[in-house]
Amino acid sequence: MGITARGVGLLVAAVVLLGVGFRFAYPELTLLGAAAGAAVGYAALVAAWRPRLTVTRRADPDRVARGEPASMTLTVRNTGRLRSANLLAEDRCGQRAVPVPVLRLRPGRDTEVRYDVPTDRRGVVPVGPLRVTRRDPLGLVALARPYGAAVPVWVHPRIHPLTAVPRGAGRSLDGRVDGVPHGSITFDSLREYVVGDELRRVHWRTSARVGELMVRENVDTSLPRLVVLLDNRVAAHPQRVGGVAESFESACEAAASVVTAAHRADLPVLLLVAAAEPAEPTRPAEPAQVTGPDGEADGPLGPLDRLAAADLSADNDAVRAATTRLRQDRLGDTLIFLTGPGGRDELGHLGALRGAYPSVVVGVFGAAEPTPPGTAGLVIVDAADGAQFAAEWDGVRRW
């Protein structure tokens, strides 16, 4: 509860009038002081009344690419039975306050407001809660309360279509590593026969032993597994335009484009962010959702959500820690490192991963000069933004 300036003035006047009236035996002043005190007390009681409101909101849609339209529909319903709600309300949409008319809202009725959500910048836009302010008729006391929960709207990076996909490396039966453009089929497990399975996949010996038809499950061992490492260090993206590191925004767009292209090609992909989030300071380079044949079925929304929430970090050792983990775990066969002009000093650490990752692609964004070909075996893609990265990516002849 907050008392307004008018309420403070009236309360001070009540105290002064009561003190003077009692001290010098002026009943008129005492009466005025009592009336002023009673007015403040009445205002506090009126403002303390809590209206019964139900707030629902619907984002349409709740996940969009940067620059695409998104809207929020807010519905406020008076669930009380006796009194109409006559309130001042505003909804929070990011850094903006949206007025919501809740004037003379009778019991059982509702009001609806629809407004646009800003999507000009990548990020997570928190919408809500609704802030309802209750005032007394004299404007002496104001009490603000939140209603409803906040709903995030995820603004994903722009996605640029990529047509080329790394072909990966498949291990042959005699132990040699070959580039296999079309894959190779390897036995994985047995399962019960279901209607529609091909009879040539039935394993007759096992079927005779268990008394039920059993079919072979095969996997494509040569499918490339892409690992995308996003460099989110402040040192890697030193340039700012209006407080925004455009090179980092371009790197996020490139990461989103690679993840989406891999998902559409049914290829496994793993997104790593070099510096850990503040909530996880001891776990650098945590993986996002894996998509593809062995991943989850709901597409690349997990990595795209993480890219929407990604922010720059002051951890300058994050890339070295991430490359150490990549060398130890060998999470894939194609590594894609996306960084800014300040991240070219880490290319030596990326070159040391050539033994674990047959193909290493480095995307450098926002550099004033082309990256010198200093590390052998790395495919360097210099780009000003995400669109140019997509064009350069499709022009790569070797992986």
Task: Report the CATH number at residue 298.
Answer: 3.40.50.410
For residues 143 and 277, membership in a common domain is answered with: no
For residues 235 and 339, membership in a common domain is answered with: yes
For residues 124 and 255, membership in a common domain is answered with: no
- The upper half-sphere exposure of residue 142, i.e. CA atoms within 13 Å in the direction of its Cβ, equals 12
Residue 353 tokens, joined: 């991963």
Neighbour tally for 364: CB within 10 Å: 25
- Cα–Cα distance measured from residue 311 to residue 104, given in angstroms and rounded to the nearest whole number: 44
Neighbour tally for 229: CB within 10 Å: 27
Phi and psi for 306 in degrees, rounded to 5? -70, -35
Domain assignment present for 164 = no
Contact 300, 258 (CB under 8 A): no
Domain end (from 156, 172, 203): 156
- The upper half-sphere exposure of residue 206, i.e. CA atoms within 13 Å in the direction of its Cβ, equals 12
Using alpha carbons, select from 73, 71, 119 the residue that is nearest to residue 308.
119
For residues 132 and 273, membership in a common domain is answered with: no
For residues 379 and 255, membership in a common domain is answered with: yes
For residues 133 and 255, membership in a common domain is answered with: no
- Cα–Cα distance measured from residue 222 to residue 226, given in angstroms and rounded to the nearest whole number: 12
Domain assignment present for 173 = no
Q: What is the value of pTM for the model shown?
A: 0.76
For residues 10 and 127, membership in a common domain is answered with: no
For residues 371 and 245, membership in a common domain is answered with: yes
- What residues make up the domain containing 191? 186-220
For residues 77 and 42, membership in a common domain is answered with: no
How many residues are given for the chain? 399
- Cα–Cα distance measured from residue 329 to residue 229, given in angstroms and rounded to the nearest whole number: 14
For residues 233 and 325, membership in a common domain is answered with: yes
For residues 87 and 18, membership in a common domain is answered with: no
Phi and psi for 126 in degrees, rounded to 5? -80, 130
Using alpha carbons, select from 126, 120, 56, 53 the residue that is nearest to residue 92.
126
Domain assignment present for 170 = no
Give the per-residue pLDDT at 289.
Answer: 45
pLDDT one digit per residue (tens) for the chain, 399 residues: 688 899 899 999 999 999 999 988 889 999 999 999 999 998 888 888 888 889 999 999 999 999 999 999 999 988 877 666 667 789 999 889 998 877 777 888 888 899 999 999 999 999 999 998 888 888 899 888 899 989 999 999 999 999 877 755 544 333 333 444 434 456 667 888 888 888 888 999 999 999 999 988 775 555 568 899 999 999 999 998 888 999 999 999 999 999 999 888 888 889 999 986 544 333 334 445 444 333 333 456 789 999 999 999 999 899 999 998 888 888 888 899 999 999 988 888 888 888 888 888 999 999 988 887 766 678 899 999 999 999 998 887 766
Contact 389, 159 (CB under 8 A): no
Could you give the number of structural domains in the chain? Answer: 4
For residues 239 and 343, membership in a common domain is answered with: yes
Domain assignment present for 62 = yes
Domain assignment present for 101 = yes
Largest CA distance in the chain: 113
